[in-house]
Structure 1
């Protein structure tokens, strides 16, 4: 029997199931209203599948935007596949859920952050959350590359570490 309940991993599993359910809904019905997603993931994760030129350009992490143009969204138990447009060049991607570092929907001020190592974990205050979100910019039509400017929308990132003792 376990000596303690691992709430952190249980919450991460629940958050990944939430992302899977949201993406399955988008696959079935499209993006409703103004919803769109910024998804940051670890490009070095062994199961991530992206073009070599993308992994060269983003050797550690990459933020994709699911908004105006995307195709071939497939949602599976371990991850999702999607084709996005990078400078008028469609590129297929496969992203395992456990490679996701952040999932943000600025249209409703919703965000999730996955902490990867306890040694790297730090508590986020409101200024840090705002600073992190200031990197995101609403993409232009047909652009799915990594946004890095200011955003008109801010979202609250949920950090599980605030609840750990």
Structure 2
């Protein structure tokens, strides 16, 4: 039996770790500037917690906005709790990182998309051929300009 590196799951874990670090910072210091988040998650995830009327209205997925008003943000290793306002009705939510499908901060054109991995019921495992997708149109990556090598004389530093 040969083993292979499961890059898809490793990428998902790293991207969810990034979300956790961002939320930890927000919990400590609040949202800076014009930053805000659109978070789409699987409402049918077994560990997701939301009001019955919300899960009835959004049986498969829902997008929440974390911007001007939110309360009780608690970040854990597996997910986060937050109270959001739905039509002047504050509702507590628990969103596991595994339930997140997209995480977008439009103020800086940053976004992560988690492709859904189909389970192979015959083998009882995840399809490791499905790689996470990052929508590059939502990301902006700064690249260092290419430079020619420079020769620097160390004579001026000698005593």
Residue aligning to 1:4: 4
Root mean square deviation, CA, Å: 2.7
Residue aligning to 1:163: none
Cα distance in structure 1, aligned partners of 2:2 and 2:21: 29
In structure 1, stretches of 5+ residues that fail to align are 131-154, 158-165
Cα distance in structure 1, aligned partners of 2:32 and 2:90: 23
Displacement of 1:156 after TM fit? 3.6
How many residue pairs are counted as aligned between the two chains?
131
Alignment of structure 1 residues 56-135 onto 2, 5 Å: 56-117=56-117
Displacement of 1:122 after TM fit? 9.5
Cα distance in structure 2, aligned partners of 1:17 and 1:71: 22
Residues 1:57 and 1:25: Cα distance change in structure 2 (over 3 Å): same
Q: Secondary structure of 1:107's partner?
A: coil
Runs of 4+ in structure 1 over 3 Å off? 121-124
Q: Which has the larger radius of gyration?
A: 2
Q: Is contact 2:12-2:132 (8 Å) kept?
A: no
Cα distance in structure 1, aligned partners of 2:96 and 2:59: 17
Residues 1:7 and 1:91: Cα distance change in structure 2 (over 3 Å): same
Q: Scaled by the length of structure 1, what TM-score is found? A: 0.72
